[in-house]
Structure 1
């Protein structure tokens, strides 16, 4: 019976554990539980490698404290502007002189008012950071912290570096220095500064180009979609400098917006002024010709003299009508130019900030502490994994293969067995 019972207990598919199929128990360990890591195992790993974790945390914290203390202080000054709603026609929507209604020309695609046009608030950040605005700002004069005298932003950026700056450029900042030199060698000499021809954009010089790149990172703008309010933020190395830069950006931004909005009107005004001057000169010449004719011929009796007098009078009358019409158009265009001036209202003027915006020393130290803790714990588990893998022959072979594939052969240490064999051979000899 015992034999049959033993055979009955062993019946079943191959690989089925004896009995009812439950996993076998190991002596002293209880039931087998694979791929389970208990909290005690984690705490044990942390306890065994507490020195590694503490050292890693101290190193990262020391680096964070060093950076927080040595980083240059920066201040951010903010200003807020808003563009008020404005009608393009500015009062012409009711009609034109002479009884011509404003809707009479709407079918021809000519808008005389009643709808807002021009720059939208969404385009303000692009205008603020345009090359024209930035170039005008870097050419302004400011008082920089540590500078003996006021200077332009271009002169400040391109001033000779100090001894410490030179050492940093050829040590820590060496990759950036080489990149700058390589870019200058590839691009070749810069184009000459100035305006090439009428209407062409101004080409910045090499020094101005460096200043443009530097000031781009110091200005930012955002627009509230609901209210159209634009917030301008300028960051600089001093509170007064940040406020001065923000004011300069505001002034040149308003000037640039005015130029964009009134460009067409100014072109029309220039054309009308030119035609008005020509009409004025032609009217003076026609009146002078008529006066000279009447002085020579006070009582013309012949038909040819009368026809010539009438022709001179008609010319004077025509020149007077043209002069009067152009004078009216000139006045209307000037009024239109005044109406089209941008209505950009400064809601909040930039002021020197009382607190620095960076570096946030407490945050940097806490962040370095957290990063050091993460790297320390990760290093502890990695070392535990490597030690466990070295005890397993198969895992050890895999680690050696990975090490040989990642680490170059010339960096790997020479095995000690080779040197031992060499010594044995020499002793035998």
Structure 2
């Protein structure tokens, strides 16, 4: 096929090409104008990789070895938390972080008062949304209803001793899924920066959601990183209180013995006095070791607090991130033009095949293999 043949096909079917371009252009313009506006707010943090644990197991203040308490049944190991900086994007999308975010209060563009994201998602839908839900969005509505029927009744919301919910309710689960789809993360392995992006319908709402995610993410990371240290601190505090009480009791027993026996002369009394003094000395050593350990553990807990450093705070974006109206219109023009040209050549191919006997036989064979019998065009009677 020469270039003139191609141009001839395009010229003969210019009406088909123009109509296809106009249809796709109309669809593109309609979508670009009706698509909801979206805004993206970003925040950047530095993932600080800290060396875990081992600092207290190597030795205690004052030259006391870290294994000095092992004979007493006291194990004071390292503070490895099991959390690496590479896991931070997963922590951001964790259930704990998203649940804390949906319980925060925000000001929504289409709401009269500030409310939590759970309350916003639980609002009754408008008439137009209800009509669309059972017309254009009917397949998705049926899919959601079928999913609820298969999954069954959700677990009831449990509460802790303070009354705080620990199992999300059905409304909270829906809100968590919604905000989870709004946030994305990207990590630059060279610089160590992690970018948190939140996309939603309002400029200020996007910044507020990004700030909420950032705050709860930072708190969650710190909680995970210090979990082992806090557990060990609690353990050392309990052992320290016990050692203090035992030391007081040993000192009281020694004091009572010395009051009754100021000048012990018999071997039995001297042996009992020495035994009470050894018990006091042992309790004093244990008390001193645990006191040093308690101080060191508290310092270690404070040292591990700053884990995430915020490099760039989220701010309300000035320009929308979507829809890109110009790009959508240009893309619809290109798609309409390409599809129109393809349809023009297909139509020309079928028209040319009907003109010759050999090509007509090939076309009939293609129809025999691909087109059902009831849809085939019957040959005209001569």
Structure 2 matches for 1:11-410, cutoff 5 A?
Answer: 37-84=1-48, 86-88=50-52, 96-99=60-63, 119-194=83-158, 202-288=166-252, 297=260, 299=262, 312-403=276-367, 406=370
| Alignment check: 8 A CA contact 1:83 1:121 kept | yes
SS at match of 1:391: coil
- Residue 251 of structure 1 deviates from its aligned partner by 0.9
SS at match of 2:354: helix
- Residue 292 of structure 1 deviates from its aligned partner by 6.1
| Alignment check: 8 A CA contact 2:54 2:77 kept | no
In the other structure, the counterpart of 1:7 is none
Whole-angstrom CA distance in 1 between matches of 2:364 and 2:379: 16
Cα RMSD for the two superposed structures: 3.6
Quickly say closer, same or farther: Cα 1:243–1:58, change in 2 above 3 A.
same
Whole-angstrom CA distance in 2 between matches of 1:72 and 1:260: 38
- Residue 83 of structure 1 deviates from its aligned partner by 2.8
Query: How many equivalent pairs are there?
Result: 368
| Alignment check: 8 A CA contact 1:127 1:253 kept | yes
Instruction: Provide structure 1 residue ranges, at least 5 long, that are not aligned to the other structure.
Output: 1-36, 103-109, 419-429
Mean CA deviation greater in 227-236 or 285-294:
285-294
Mean CA deviation greater in 209-218 or 85-94:
85-94
Whole-angstrom CA distance in 2 between matches of 1:362 and 1:176: 29
Q: TM-score, normalised by structure 2?
A: 0.83
- Residue 382 of structure 1 deviates from its aligned partner by 1.0
- Residue 76 of structure 1 deviates from its aligned partner by 0.4
Whole-angstrom CA distance in 1 between matches of 2:286 and 2:57: 26
- Residue 91 of structure 1 deviates from its aligned partner by 7.5
Whole-angstrom CA distance in 2 between matches of 1:152 and 1:308: 70
- Residue 407 of structure 1 deviates from its aligned partner by 5.0
Whole-angstrom CA distance in 2 between matches of 1:162 and 1:233: 29
Whole-angstrom CA distance in 2 between matches of 1:328 and 1:195: 38
Whole-angstrom CA distance in 1 between matches of 2:149 and 2:9: 55
Q: TM-score, normalised by structure 1?
A: 0.75
Instruction: Provide structure 2 residue ranges, at least 5 long, that are not aligned to the other structure.
Output: 67-75
Deviations along 1:94-134, one digit per CA (max 9) or x if unpaired, are 965344799xxxxxxx9989xx9975443322222222222
